[in-house]
Every structure is written in structure tokens, then in C-alpha cells.
């Protein structure tokens, strides 16, 4: 029995992506193909699952670099199984929780202090006297701490 192979056009159509996207994914090392005797690109059926995982992860804000690292952690860089997907999605869920916490904190304090150290606000519910938060890090410290706490990361004191 011959293993099924798909052309780039068939994969693009089945996955709902452009052919150029497939070429980009391949250049990034996210998917693999080979060339047949006529020098046409061909894909194994499991590439459909890899592309589905890529699309799902991207929809929740996972970067292509993070996806690539996750794929590289799989034995022989194989296509994720259902068990692999459960583990990957659990890890990415923690990241998503952190982003949600960050956005909620930003939304709730959009007109208030975010701990950036500018000291320009006279009325601030999260006032940062003498830039004491500057000892904790740079940038919007309060917002970044909320994101880290949601991800279970200990922030510097």
C-alpha cells in the first residue's frame, strides 16, 4: 500500500492557508516536504495536523518561534499526537492566562498608574511615590507583575 501524498495546493486548500504560508512554514522549519521526480513539492498526510496545531496556537497568541520550539522538543521532530497536543495546549494555556491577566489589569487601570516611573500623575490609585517600583524592574512594573503572577512566575523583589 502506497502512503498518501499531497501537493502544496491540496494541503493549502485542506488547511485553509495560502500556498505562500506553506512555503514560509517550511522555511521556518515547522513543516517538511520533499520533491518528486517532476520536482514538485509533496507532503505526508500528517502535515495537516501540524498546520492545524500551528493555526490553533497562533489564534491564542503563541508565536511561531514558541511553536517551533515545542515541535523540536518532540522525539524525531514528529507530528504531535493527541497526548502531545494536550501537553502543548496546557503550557500555552498558562501563557494565555498571563496575557489575559495583563490585559485585564491594563483595562482596569487604563486611566490610572501602571507603575512606569514617570511620576506625572497627581491623582493615582496605584501611586508610585519616589519611583519605589523602579527597584522592581523597568517599564510598566505593575502590569508586568500581574502577567507574571498569572503565569506562576516569581517576580523580582
Say yes or no to pLDDT of 38 above 50: yes
Which of 131, 103, 126, 100 has the alpha carbon at shortest distance from 113? 126
* pTM as predicted: 0.64
Domain segments of the chain as ranges: 1-80, 94-157
CATH class of 1-80: mainly alpha
What DSSP string describes 52-113? Answer: HHHHHHHHTT--HHHHHHHHHTSGGGPPP-HHHHHHHHHHHHHHHHHHHHHHHHHHHTTTS-
What is the per-residue pLDDT across 127-155, written as a single tens digit (0 to 9) for each?
Answer: 555 666 677 777 777 667 766 776 666 55
Say yes or no to pLDDT of 114 above 90: no
Say yes or no to pLDDT of 115 above 80: no
Amino acid at each position: 500500500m502506497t502512503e498518501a501524498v499531497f501537493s502544496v495546493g491540496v494541503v493549502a486548500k485542506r488547511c485553509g492557508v495560502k500556498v505562500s504560508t506553506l512555503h514560509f512554514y517550511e522555511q521556518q522549519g515547522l513543516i517538511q516536504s520533499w520533491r518528486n521526480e517532476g520536482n514538485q513539492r509533496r507532503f505526508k498526510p500528517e502535515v495537516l495536523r501540524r498546520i492545524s496545531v500551528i493555526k490553533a496556537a497562533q489564534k491564542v497568541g503563541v508565536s511561531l518561534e514558541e511553536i517551533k520550539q515545542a515541535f523540536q522538543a518532540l522525539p524525531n521532530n514528529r507530528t504531535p499526537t493527541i497526548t502531545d497536543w494536550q501537553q502543548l495546549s496546557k503550557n500555552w494555556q498558562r501563557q494565555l492566562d498571563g496575557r489575559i491577566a495583563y490585559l485585564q489589569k491594563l483595562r482596569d487601570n487604563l486611566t490610572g498608574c501602571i507603575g512606569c516611573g514617570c511620576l506625572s500623575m497627581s491623582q493615582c490609585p496605584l501611586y508610585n511615590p519616589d519611583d519605589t517600583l523602579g527597584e522592581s524592574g523597568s517599564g510598566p512594573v505593575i502590569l508586568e507583575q500581574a502577567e507574571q503572577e498569572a503565569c506562576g512566575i516569581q517576580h523580582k523583589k
